[in-house]
Amino acid sequence: SQLQDMSSVKTTAAKDMAFAFDIDGVLVHGDRLIPEGRRALEILNGDNELGIKIPHIFLTNGSGKIESQRCDQLSQILGVPISTEQFIQAHTPMSALAEYYDTVLVVGGEKYKCREVAKLYGFKDIIVPNDIYAANPDISPLKEFFTEEQRATSAPRDFSKVKFDAILVFSDSRDYATDLQIMIDLLLSEDGVLGTKAKDPLANRIPVYFSQGDVLCPTEYPIPRMSQGTFRIALEAIYKSITGHELERVVYGKPELATYKYADEVMSSWMETIHNEERLPKNIYMIGDNPQSDIVGGNMYGWNTCLVRTGVFQGEGNDKENPANFGVFNNVLEAVQAALKKEL
Ligand code: G3P
Ligand code: MG
């Protein structure tokens, strides 16, 4: 019976801890599995001494696909089920904006995938830069390539009659020249109508949102590549050089506070799904590879932070500017095991 008592204490402790996983550089590299990731998730899915599920969510700055597609793809790679109810991409919290803006310019992503994302979130009139280019190619004289496929998917429209309510950058721009040109046009327009110029560009300026702020992103190439942050910096610099004013904008994703608040909501409703108790576990562990997003954000939010060496961070000791408060680990499995050892 002493053994039974021990096990019920541990079960209570297991329900009072939770994990938030970064994805790229922690569980996968692009579409390639980091093998320790699979084992770590199996343990949390119940393959542990208590046979109990330990709550965990996924908090990624990744973007560009609807959540269900990315979850299916990750389930395949990781070999464990991943539900959209435990999954937050960079643009997931932006679904709340659909209540405020009807006509939106959606920037970034492969082909037209972000149009699908915006549709799912409930935006009513979704326009992508290629729709505008198709209506009048003169808008972007620097654009060289425009495929027949792109032309075909854009319904003809008279943009002089369209009033844009907001600009939403969902994912990485595939065409800086055209996207920046059209965004600057809208930011300087009278009331969000293309082809107009506001007398006072600061009055009633169309708002602009970015799904995340990472400057660099690890890819298959040996040196990290430019990410959404560099695109935003370019827009800010151009806007300032033209108007003399700083560009006010909103950024989502880690390490922004709004994203962690959203994560709390997802975490407590996931607790309800798996343990029938809608509440936040006391001890939350963030496991990430990027000190400048995962770790700094988790530290500010009062989470226990674990830095792994399988992604952006490759150093010896802890990160100098944004040290992980729980520790640095060779991989995600070691981090999960250390957290379980501490709490259970
Ligand atoms: O930098 C963008 C993205 O690939 C980062 O994803 O999962 O490391 O937050 P993640
Ligand atoms: Mg990462």
What is the residue-level pLDDT of the chain in tens, covering all 344 positions? Answer: 777 787 888 989 989 999 999 999 999 988 899 999 999 999 999 999 999 999 999 999 999 999 999 999 999 999 999 999 999 999 999 999 999 999 999 999 998 899 999 999 999 999 999 999 888 889 998 887 666 666 656 667 899 999 999 999 999 999 999 999 999 999 999 999 999 999 998 888 999 999 999 998 877 787 888 999 999 999 999 999 999 999 999 999 999 999 999 999 999 999 999 999 999 999 999 999 999 999 999 999 999 999 999 998 988 999 999 999 999 999 999 999 999 999 99
Residue of 28, 59, 61, 225 to mutate, ligand 1, most atoms within 8 A of C-beta: 61
Ligand 1: nearest atom to the Cα of 289:
8
Ligand 1: nearest atom to the Cα of 90:
9
User: Is 298 strand, coil or helix?
Assistant: helix
Supply the ipTM of this predicted assembly.
Answer: 0.98
Whether residue 23 has its Cβ less than 6 Å from ligand 1: yes
* Ligand with minimal distance to 214 CA: 1
DSSP summary character for residue 16: T
For residues 48 and 212, give the distance between their C-alpha atoms in angstroms, rounded to a whole number.
Answer: 35
178: left (phi over 0), alpha (psi -120 to 50) or beta: alpha
Q: What is the CA radius of gyration of the chain?
A: 22
For residues 255 and 244, give the distance between their C-alpha atoms in angstroms, rounded to a whole number.
Answer: 28
Ligand 1: nearest atom to the Cα of 22:
7
Give pTM, 2 decimals: 0.94
Q: Are 21 and 57 in contact (CB under 8 A)?
A: yes
Q: Among 277, 339, 262, 282, which Cα is nearest to 308's?
A: 339
Q: Are 308 and 288 in contact (CB under 8 A)?
A: yes
Q: What percent of the chain is helix, strand and coil (3-state, nearest 5)? A: 40, 15, 45
Q: Are 35 and 57 in contact (CB under 8 A)?
A: no
